[in-house]
Structure 1
């Protein structure tokens, strides 16, 4: 309720002409102030006129006036500059820390408006879209403007993750690319353990044995804790070779296997088993990992997709885990998988490179790549598709994923332009 009141105040959705304090003084709001998302009053630098006198300062909003005392604002110096206390229920008089009484005003929120808000937020994390009818009524120019903002928001977040990796790896772009690629190969289900795996092995150590598929796979699978122990792998010669090779390399490079990596394999297609994803990552490392140079020298989408063409060879051509042989397994990633890697690895890296070096052309290249790749097909794009949003490229599908994950599922309807428009229309209709 308090967040709704803040939203109403911020956007002037409730500003009757006869606003008065609880003791009858007339109030005129010149500027509602700037919303504060940290500690302290809810709005900074507001300007109001109370009984003919102009005040500049902060606004605090509570459901009950007594919350002022309950939150101990009367003892907090940060609230000395509060000039108006806005409440739904006037159940107590309040004072600043210096003892001065603060003007108080009731915000009588329309029950119907509150019901609309509750209905919207209460269903935002469900499988439906309570704002579907509103989406259909929004003009394309406004809707596309919001989707563009969301796509950049998601791209920025991914680029920020890469920049954090760069700080952890002392500015080593190839190392950051290696960890980013490993995470993306988890395709959501095993992303976290694959990222931990890549971060646990110095890329330089792998580079010293980049001519040996056995050594690379031994390091990765050994660190992952996926090589069977000696008493269970006697019948699998390759598992025995990997175990001996890992023991040697672990001693050489002071490697320690991941503790409880959390691999998921239940109800999963064999091609998605972590063993197979690690086999592909090993193929990408064979001959030396030069992902950064490859991606920055690529001249278009097709060349970027070719970077992910490393074939799985040897033992993993016919196995999806240790033990039983399964002939006929795919040795290359599917086109859809390569496109997902381009979306989640190539585009963010290009954008981060452009941001870090202040080179707009690389940021533009990242956007162009997303706009050239067909839209992802998943439950989220289908959900918004049923509401009338056409999704033809990955730039738009990434925007919809950002909208669903960061706004709908997080119940941040008040910060979504669609939700704001829906609530604002209802407020205007009730105030007319």
Structure 2
């Protein structure tokens, strides 16, 4: 039976082999004091392992292959990073392996040293035609183990998003307001129009917008004009006014709009049209232009959604979802699901990242607290987990499940997941 190397990693890491009378070849009697820690970067598979070979204690790296000859296939003999390997763990030992100085690396063959039907359980788990590998067995895992996995996934999700914010923060020379404005604009794209909203944020200086906070038409003209939506001929008074204001502001600040063709509107519901979202964004900026400082200062979680309530959106958008596109009268205010989306994917993330950057734990705690306050998201990814028995307590749960699904379940990394390990160990 040909085992995957990741399965042998699993056997080694959790010591699921018969530990009595282990021998390395050469090296003699072997006792594993510590298997080491997984190396997620280049180099040997496990770092800082501790072993005893006969009467000698060893500390160093461990490399794992199906066959010992795979060492040569992977060209490790030419890489000095592998000279510190103290043990080569394999399923089949078919060839001695030497370090660059000529010394032979001790080999532990796992063949016959573990219950091989364990692999059948693993193969059945990752091969099942479920919506995620452990869908049928999830109910057998205790709630505490699941909770610990989700808590860890939530931190991983925050950490992943931290790097993207750091990159933009560096581009803006440490200006948190500008960086926040960039990601806020991005969030109003709601995936479909993320890119043009990013380009819009980059096309206009935040300080320029701040000058017109008390002048709604000019502020709206800057946003709609830079988005390319004020080109062409209009007959209605509102777009004509914006067009006139933008023509003046464009000359004054030497502005260049982004290509209007970048915006996606095909088969889109009226409430998600970028023009509709831009009207909401303009109204939000009129009320709270120093938005990042505002969000940092809030103490009650109830006050976060209220910042998006009753925005001063121009009445034109009650009967239009695009310029020249008349619709039945409706409220142009940001809907509750959209507010929650912005809070979850932008506000919470920025609270966490700012807390980490400034080493202020209160903001990280506020990020976790706000996620636990907000209701869980409802989508096709998290729904199967809920049906399998996971209680959707809050947005913290749904966010953690999105991370778990993307990086573990979809990639079938059950051997790197505590839930999968619990199931296999049963």
Range of TM-score over shorter length = 0.7 to 0.9
Measure the CA separation in 2 of the matches of 1:110 and 1:266. Answer: 56
CA deviations 1:81-114 (Å, max 9, x no partner) are 2222122333333211112222223233755333
Instruction: Report deviation, 1:69.
Output: 1.6
Q: Residue 392 of structure 2 corresponds to which residue in structure 1?
A: 391
Identify which range, 63-72 or 210-219, moves more after superposition: 210-219
Match of 1:428 in 2: none
Q: Deviations over 1:131-153 (max 9, x none)?
A: 13432122222222222232333
- 2:381 aligned counterpart, secondary structure: helix
The residue that corresponds to 2:402 in the other structure is 401
TM-score by length of 2: 0.87
Output one character per residue of 1:4-39: Cα deviation in whole Å (capped at 9) or x when no partner: 222321222224423334569443222212222222
Worse-superposed segment, 329-338 or 111-120: 111-120
User: How far 1:68 moved relative to its partner?
Assistant: 1.5
The alpha-carbon deviation at position 163 of structure 1 amounts to: 4.1
Change over 3 Å in CA distance of 1:23–1:170 after alignment to 2: closer
Deviation at 1:404, TM superposition (A): 1.8
Distance in 2 separating the partners of 1:40 and 1:294:
46
Provide the C-alpha distance between the structure 2 equivalents of 1:4 and 1:226, rounded to a whole number of angstroms: 55
Residue-by-residue CA offset, 1:314-370 (whole Å, 9 max, x unaligned) = 433322223221131321112222222222233223333333333333333332222
Q: Which residue of 2 aligns with 1:114?
A: 119
Q: Give the aligned partner of residue 343 of structure 1.
A: 344
Structure 1, residues 375-419: CA drift from partner, whole Å, max 9, x if none? 222223321111111112222222222222232224332222111
- What's the CA shift string for 1:167-205, capped at 9, x where partnerless? 332232222221222222223333343233223322112
**How far did 1:308 drift?**
1.1
Mapped contact 1:311–1:331 kept (Cα < 8 A): no
Q: Contact between 1:117 and 1:423, CA under 8 Å: does it hold in 2?
A: yes
- After the TM superposition, which residues 38-187 of structure 1 pair with which residues of structure 2 at under 5 Å, given as runs? 38-108=41-111, 111-122=116-127, 128-187=131-190
Query: Kindly tell me: are residues 395 and 234 of structure 1, through their superposed partners in 2, closer, same or farther at Cα, counting changes over 3 Å?
Result: closer
Q: State the shift of 1:127 in Å.
A: 6.3
* Structure 1 segment 15-414 matched on structure 2, within 5 A: 15-21=18-24, 25-108=28-111, 111-122=116-127, 128-227=131-230, 229-230=231-232, 233=233, 239=239, 242-243=242-243, 245-258=245-258, 262-286=262-286, 289-309=289-309, 310-414=311-415
Counterpart Cα distance in 1 of 2:167 and 2:338: 25
C-alpha change, 1:384 and 1:360, in structure 2 (3 Å) is same
User: Could you state the TM-score of these two structures normalised by the residue count of structure 1?
Assistant: 0.86
Taking a change above 3 Å as real, the CA distance of residues 335 and 117 of structure 1, as seen in their structure-2 partners, is: same
SS of 1:63's equivalent in the other structure is strand
Residue 160 of structure 1: CA displacement? 4.9
In 1, are the aligned partners of 2:145 and 2:419 still within 8 Å (CA)? no
Kindly state the Cα deviation for residue 58 of structure 1 after the two structures are TM-superposed: 1.8
2:127–2:133 Cα contact (<8 Å) kept: no
Task: Supply the RMSD in Å over aligned alpha carbons.
Answer: 2.9
Q: Give the Cα–Cα distance (whole angstroms) in 1 for the partners of residues 328 and 9 of structure 2.
A: 62
Extract unaligned runs of 5+ from structure 1: 426-432
Structure 2 residues without counterparts, runs of 5 or longer: none
Q: Is the 8 A contact 1:222 1:246 kept in 2?
A: yes
